[in-house]
Amino acid sequence: MRIDSLPRFRLAQLPTPIEELENLTRELGGPELLIKRDDQTGLAFGGNKTRKLEFLVGQALAEGADTLVTAGAAQSNHCRQTAAAAAKAGMKCELVLNGQKPDVPNGNLLLDQLLGAGQHWIERSQRSAKLRDLSEQLQAQGRKPYVIGVGGSNGVGATGYVVAMLELVEQLRTLQQRADHLVFGTSSGGTQAGVVLGARVAGFHGQLHGLSIDKGEPELKDYEKEVAQIANECAEYVGSADRFSEKDIQVVCGYLGDGYGVVGELEREAIRMMAQCEGIILDPVYAGRAFGGLIDLIRKGVFQRGETVLFWHTGGAPALFAYAKELA
């Protein structure tokens, strides 16, 4: 393992806290609930992308890049975090955004603008082509772009969650706590890939449940393969001999509601419960859906009294403000 010698640009306040969710544990009457606060990574409202970006920006700087280029939806947390990382690293940032450009920017989009990122609006289907074209245009202008794929989910980005698992295991040891299960939202796969490899590397024996934010049963096998592939790419990058197949990846489906980014009763209840029982703010797209799924699994008896479940809060709360109509 060579994590300590990999290029890394520090962005995050680490370790993020682990808290006991005593009120929610009582309210739900099931397992003991813990939360890992990666919404508190400290960079422009935090989130899981800060950890990935430490290694992605490290690599970009090592290659002599001066501009980060990435893509996402209008309310992308990844784009907002990339814009902030670029600002901190003294780089420029160009964002390829899909969705409707609003007259008045709100939530993450407002932050992208305040952080000084350039915006390039396209249809979702044109994402890859636009990333390629934009990169070529920037090079023609004498800039040195570093293109980060959607969600920063490749072997380099996932390294952030290998480090996070080493951090978690150390924290649990110090707190004399155990976690039988980890539950977190999964979408572009980099977080889960890093968690799965990190669990192996750190000797963590609890079960790992990625709750799917945007894929259903029909896409499940392909997604699990994709996550295993990112984990293998990451293992190679960090110099670990571990290798994975889709059998090592557990993705929970069944909580898509009306689709990606569409807030339903599941997310509304989860956001309200977490806010009103614990004073912690979830987001409408990822952590809200993932925690809604966890509440349902507890009610169905999948996780039971006597067990400890750690919910990994992956951030995203700035998007709440763009969902005021659905949440108020």
Ligand X SMILES: Cc1ncc(COP(=O)(O)O)c(C=O)c1O
DSSP code, position 261? T
| Strand 207-212 to 181-186 pairing | parallel
Name the residue nearer to ligand X (CB basis): 36 or 78.
Answer: 78
- The residue behind tokens 């994975």 is 244
Name the residue nearer to ligand X (CB basis): 32 or 39.
Answer: 39
CB of 241 to ligand X, least distance (A): 24
User: What span, in angstroms and rounded, lies between the C-alpha atoms of 297 and 163?
Assistant: 28
Name the residue nearer to ligand X (CB basis): 47 or 58.
Answer: 47
Name the residue nearer to ligand X (CB basis): 185 or 206.
Answer: 185
Please provide the distance, in angstroms rounded to a whole number, between the alpha carbons at the two ends of the chain. Answer: 48
- List contacts with ligand X (CB under 6 A): 47-48, 77-78, 151, 153, 185-192, 283, 286-287, 314-316
User: What span, in angstroms and rounded, lies between the C-alpha atoms of 66 and 58?
Assistant: 12
Judge contact between 52 and 66, C-beta under 8 A.
no
Helix 220-238 / helix 190-202 crossing angle, nearest 10 deg: 50
DSSP code, position 256? -
Q: Which residues pair with 185 in a beta bridge?
A: 211
Lookup: tokens for 268? 């509304």
* Annotated catalytic residue, options 76, 153, 188, 240: 76
Name the residue nearer to ligand X (CB basis): 159 or 187.
Answer: 187
- The residue behind tokens 């992956």 is 314
76 is catalytic: yes
The residues near 324 (Cβ < 8 Å, ≥ 6 apart) are: none
User: What span, in angstroms and rounded, lies between the C-alpha atoms of 276 and 287?
Assistant: 16
- Catalytic amino acids? 76
